Structure 1
Amino acid sequence: MNWEIRDLFSDLEILKDRFEDLKDSHGWHFDEHYPYETNHVLNKVEMIKEGVSYHERRIHDDQMFDLLHLYTQQFDHILKKFQEIEKCASVECLATETDNA
């Protein structure tokens, strides 16, 4: 059982790294594509530039959403494995306690 737990911790570390990579990637994207303050009023040239870059941002955001969905599914899978291990451990404890009684 210890190797299963170590394996799951390894999976969690990999998943954490993936989330950090996604955060870094999106942070760069955010800084580059949203250079204006929230209350900044766009002029005509800035409006045209924003309109042209819309599709690029949309593709990037769709990819980011897909990755977040995938990573969340992997996280759920790892949590279910932990729950199975916990359930097996509690069953083994109950079996040992009843054997000793």
Structure 2
Amino acid sequence: MNAVLRVPPDDVPTLTEVVRPSDLAAAVEPADPPVDAERVVLRVVSHMQDLAEARLRERLPPLLEQLVSELLGGLVREFREDLLLGLHDTVRQAVAEELARTGLR
């Protein structure tokens, strides 16, 4: 029986070597730091709030301007109609009173 002598690779410890945990830790690449899910969520929410606020600042003024214009236009029409009706009634009543006072009926 011929024994073949094999030499182990350099990075494999032999039975005569003492391997310490610190030696193993140095050989292992450091892992990525753990992801803090709450921090990621807070960043995303903060970013989304900033985007939403910017969008509101951009789009809200023209919409409000249009809405106020439409509301004021409607109010002016209603006020004008009420004013004309009131004025009509006031003039009719004043004419009736004047006719009654002067006896021209």
Scaled to the shorter chain, the TM-score interval is: 0.3 to 0.5
More helix by share: 1
Q: TM-score with structure 1 length normalisation?
A: 0.46
**Larger RCO (alpha carbons 8 Å, 6+ apart):** 1
Q: TM-score with structure 2 length normalisation?
A: 0.44
Name which one, 1 or 2, has greater alpha-carbon Rg.
2
